[in-house]
Each structure stands twice: as C-alpha cells, then as structure tokens.
Amino acid sequence: MTTQVPAILKDSADAPFRQGLVERRDLRPDDVRIDIAYAGICHSDIHTVREEWGPCIFPIVTGHEIAGVVSEIGSEVTKFKVGDHVGVGCLVDSCGECDYCVKGSENFCEKGAVGTYNSKNYDGEIAQGGYSQQIIVTERFVLRIPDAISLEVAAPLLCAGITLYTPLKRWGAGPGKKVAIVGMGGLGHMGVKIAAAMGADVTVISQTMSKEEDGRAFGAVDYRATEDGSVFKELRNSFDLIVCTVSADLPLDKYLGMVKPFGALVLVGLPEKPQNFQVFSLIMGDKVLTGSNIGGIPITQEMLDFCAEHDIAPTVETISADEVDAAYDRVVASKVRYRFVIDTSTIAPE
Ligand code: NAP
Ligand code: ZN
C-alpha cells in the first residue's frame, strides 16, 4: 500500500500551485521515510516548471532542498534511525556500481542518476520532490544534518550550498586566493559565506549595489556592480577564481577578462540559450572556462559538516504553502533575500 502525502503541486507551466496529495511508495528494505520540515526554493525548480529547459512531467512536486526528520526505516537501513535530522538534495538514486558512483560522483552515474523530481526512478515510478510533508529515499542518498544546523536553514545547503562548495574546493578557494562570486541570490550568497570561511578574499559582483551591506556581512571584502560598466576594466586580471551563478546571458569575455592568468571562470548558473565567447579570452592568459554540477554524496556530507564547523548557514525567508507562486516571482526578479524556504507543516489540501 502506498501512502498519500500532502504536497504542493503544479499541473502545467501556466497553472498556479495547488495543495493536494502525492503518492509515496512503500518502504523498501534500504529506504528511509523522512517527515519533511522545510523545503528550499531553488531557481532550478522555476526553470523546470516553467519549461525553460525543456518539457516537464506534470503534475509535478518540485523541491530538491529537503530537510526533515527520519520517521521510519527499512529493515536493512544501517546509517539512520528514527528521529535523526536528515536532508535530501538533487538526487535520489544511482546505479551504485559504475566508476563514478564508486568514487562518490553519483551525479555522473553512467546509468543516469535519478533526479529528485521531473525524473523517473529505475522502476519507472515518477520521482516527486520536497514541497511535501514526506519523502521516501534510499539511505544512500540521505545526508546527515549536523546538530549545529537547524532544519530551517539546512534545507538550502542541499543544493545551493553544495553547488558552490564543490567548485570553490576544487579550484582552490583559500587563504591568499582572490575569489569573485557573480550574482548574489540563493547560490551566490552561499558562495560568499563558504569562500570566506575557506579563507579566500571574496568579492561580490552583482547587478547593483543594493545588497552591498549584506554581502559584506556574509564575508565579502569588496562588492561591485555591473551596472557601472567600469568594473570590468578596474578588475581586469584580478581573480584566481570566479564562480558565476547567473542564468541570464552574460558577456563571458568581460568576465574572463577579470580572471588572472592560469585562473578559472566556473559557470554554475544554467542559461536557457547557448553562450558565446572569444577563444582569445582563454588563450591570452591560459585561462580555464568550465562548469560545475552540484556534488556527489560524500562531498555533500563534507559540506554540511564544514558549514556546521564554521558556523555558516543560508539566510532564509520562511514562507507558507500558499506563498510559493509569489516567491517564484520574487526569485525571478532578483528580489530574494536570500533563499525562500517552505514550512511544509502549512500544506493543507482541502
Ligand atoms: P537566484 O536566487 O535567482 O540567483 C541568481 C542571481 O543572479 C540573482 O540573485 C541575481 O543576483 C543574478 N541575476 C539574475 N538575473 C540577472 C541578469 N539578467 N543579469 C545578471 N545577473 C542576474 O538563483 P539560484 O537559485 O541561485 O540559481 C542560480 C542558477 O544556478 C540557476 O540557473 C539555477 O538553475 C542554477 N543551478 C545550478 C546548479 C548546478 O549544479 N550547476 C545547481 C543549482 C542551481 P544579483 O541581484 O546579485 O545581480
Ligand atoms: Zn537546486
């Protein structure tokens, strides 16, 4: 017998969200049932349901920043017990056997990892995400939330946190390194906090100066706005690493110009359309232009522990189930401060 669980659903790209029920499978031996407390709103949820990246499987329950409490475990579960604080991010399954899975890069599973929503499980069941009061996930994809991090602020770490932690670590953010974070929204503000905690010298590059005070409070030592076009000239060859969280079309050559020779520009924002750049912008400085995709399970746990140890957490605005449409509009208008988190206890289907 499956379980019907209160959830926030969308029936088409144009339809508003509605509160209803979503079906959850029976607990398998390796499964964990999680009573979800909070679910973050990632811009990827918006791209997906508005079909900006391609067709979406409707009706959908989005949400891949999930924090809650274990309420039941399958007979073979060893990592978790009832009452544990746990999280789930963008993935809920992978083959577990290919080289990538074995090395903890489950996001690049050769069989294709199963996304938390808008995806099919290996048995054909449609995966439904975290804007819901419960989810069932194999224990391999469940993360432990350290006691120092409350569930309300833990949720956004499961996507925004890991998406910035991975490239900052890989490309060496740390003492003596100059790092710029482009776009200070959900991902970007976590990038500022994490890069500062790693010991880097952090600059925010935003569209305007309106969030300067917050950026400096998050740990940035400099804050610049692109509306003043002189920034590209002034900061030429300045950064060892730039991580760009923007999903709009940007003049990549100008951003590459701000990277120091041998440095890297890492794209994590996901624009709808192809982007252009001059190869000269790379060659005149042996620069790297690359991307970064969330992170596998081991590095996600490492990131959660890092945030607990360094006392950093997302800055959130908690909303109720009937405020999701309005929250989406605010995210799209760059008016989010800095991540919306849904209190799932407010979901009340009629
Ligand atoms: P968000 O909260 O909307 O933040 C994006 C920020 O980009 C905005 O706050 C804004 O910052 C800036 N921005 C928006 N429109 C812009 C424009 N036209 N020109 C220049 N800057 C603009 O979104 P998010 O949740 O952080 O997600 C950001 C992107 O990352 C999305 O495309 C999302 O799908 C993607 N993503 C990727 C991964 C991955 O694995 N690579 C994981 C999660 C999300 P300012 O106001 O400071 O300018
Ligand atoms: Zn996300």
* pLDDT tens figures, 41-69: 999 999 999 999 999 999 999 999 999 99
CA angle 158, 159, 164 (to 5 degrees): 110
pLDDT at 334: 93
Ligand 1, residue 188: give the atom nearest the CA.
26
* The pair of three-digit structure tokens given for residue 40, joined into one six-digit string: 């973050």
For ligand 1, atom 34, the nearest C-alpha belongs to 44
Domains of the chain are 2-159+295-346 (3.90.180.10), 161-291 (3.40.50.720)
CA distance 124 to 122: 5
pLDDT at 228: 85
Question: How many CB atoms are closer than 10 A to CB 192?
Answer: 29
CA distance 263 to 313: 28
Rounded distance from Cα 233 to ligand 2 centre (Å):
32
Ligand 1, residue 43: give the atom nearest the CA.
25
Dihedral, CA atoms, 44, 306, 166, 184, nearest 10 degrees? 50
pLDDT digits (tens, 9 = 90+) for 165-209: 999 999 999 999 999 999 999 999 999 999 999 999 999 999 999
Global pTM reads 0.98
Q: Which ligand is nearest to the CA of 270?
A: 1
CA distance 60 to 219: 37
- Mean pLDDT within 313-337: 97
Which residue type, as a one-letter code, is found at position 307?
Answer: C
To test the ligand 1 pocket, which listed residue (163, 187, 224) has its Cβ within 8 A of the most ligand atoms?
A: 187
- Torsion 347-38-266-57 (CA) sign: negative
Q: Which ligand is nearest to the CA of 249?
A: 1
pLDDT digits (tens, 9 = 90+) for 125-162: 999 999 999 999 999 999 999 999 999 999 999 999 99
Please answer whether residues 165 and 293 qualify as being in contact, where contact means their C-beta atoms are separated by less than 8 angstroms.
no
For ligand 1, atom 12, the nearest C-alpha belongs to 183
Give the pairing type, strands 134-138 and 31-40: antiparallel
CA distance 187 to 336: 11
